[in-house]
Amino acid sequence: MSLQIRERVSLKPFNSFGVDVQARLFAEAHDDDEVREALAYAEQQQLPLLVIGGGSNLLLTADVDALVLRMASRGSRLLSDDGQRVIVEAEAGEPWHPFVLWSLRQGLGGLENLSLIPGTVGAAPMQNIGAYGVELKDVFVGLAALDRHTGELREFSLADCAFAYRDSRFKREAGRWLILRVRLALSRQAALHLDYGPIRQRLVEQGIEAPTPMDVSRAICAIRSEKLPDPNELGNAGSFFKNPLVAAEQADRLRQQYADLVAYPQAGGLVKLAAGWLIERAGWKGFREGDAGVHRLQALVLVNYGEATGGQLLGLARRIQADVAVRFGVALEIEPNVL
């Protein structure tokens, strides 16, 4: 067996919150064969298998009595190119932002708004990652995943994945599918999305009148760096709560009370509220209790100032949820996977 399995391994380096819990067993899979070896070994040991990527969408609240498998496969490639539409494929363990930069260096547009999102390519379809008006589903073509129940390798189309806001079939069927490779359709003719958030304003400030996808990526990296803490310096998992969807009538009632309500109309008579605005308006921005806190610049981000436990961070999140529900009548949903 080529898979190297270690016992009692701290997961602190493998989750962006920097929570120090132990995995009973730990291994890294660099190819499909090692993934299959991990599945077989976990079954032989009668242990659950927990698959992680960059650990950037994870809150660990206790030691993990399982074989923790970190996807470490690497590789990005062009599959087809008709001069306009280009199909690219990347391995599940490929870090997401370097993959975005790789695509931009190939002269391809489509992923620029998703720049600087932490995590790996394989984790991206799990919650249909999105930012600044673009979601993964907008460029998604297909993926290959292993059925952990049967060992079958299966191809998934866009329709098969049942993508929704920060959701997918893979998230709803957690523990069944192990994503190995992802394929996306990018373009040599840029169709830029500049109207969500301060992107266009930032480009104007920089004197860029005809932006390229690389220009947009750089602007978004700058915006995100100013608003969001670097997990290497301050433990966090990015946005901790989803932006809630409410009926237009409820949004109108809230707007009558709060003229500065941040809200975006959606299809089907729904309105997306800015969770960060709700949390900040409730007074939680910059809150700290011990080493668990809310970031001072972005209320949507919970942070670990050093030695916070997963339980302490989760407890803070529950208090924020309860307060927002009482004040605004809005339920906030936690975005990271809580274990």
For 63-97, write each residue's pLDDT tens digit: 999 999 999 999 999 999 999 999 999 999 999 99
CA angle 177, 181, 185 (to 5 degrees): 120
- Model confidence at 99, pLDDT cuts 50, 70, 90, reads very high
**The last residue of a domain, from among 71, 99, 121:** 71
Same domain, 111 and 62: no
Judge whether 131 lies within some domain: yes
CATH of the domain at 37: 3.30.43.10
Judge whether 290 lies within some domain: yes
Same domain, 67 and 129: no
Write down the pLDDT at residue 293: 98
Judge whether 201 lies within some domain: no
Judge whether 116 lies within some domain: yes
Residues serving a catalytic function are 166, 239, 335
Tell me phi and psi for residue 164, to 5 degrees.
-145, -175
Judge whether 197 lies within some domain: no
CATH of the domain at 249: 3.90.78.10
Same domain, 82 and 167: yes
3-state per-residue secondary structure call for 198-254: CHHHHHHHCCCCCCCHHHHHHHHHHHHHHHCCCCCCCEEEEECECCCEEEHHHHHHH
Single-letter residue type at 196: Y
Judge whether 228 lies within some domain: no
Same domain, 146 and 244: no
Same domain, 110 and 142: yes
Same domain, 182 and 91: yes
pLDDT at 214 over 80: yes
Nearest to 277 by CA among 326, 324, 227, 336: 324
**The last residue of a domain, from among 130, 153, 187:** 187
What pTM did the predictor assign? 0.87
Residue 2 burial (CB count, 10 A) = 9
The total domain count for the chain is: 3
CATH of the domain at 171: 3.30.465.10
Same domain, 131 and 95: yes
Q: Which distant-in-sequence residues (6+ apart) come within 8 Å of 331 by Cβ?
A: 244, 321, 324, 325
Judge whether 223 lies within some domain: no
Judge whether 198 lies within some domain: no
Domain with 160, as residue range(s), is: 76-187
- CA atoms of 160 and 3, how far apart (whole Å): 31
Write down the pLDDT at residue 230: 87
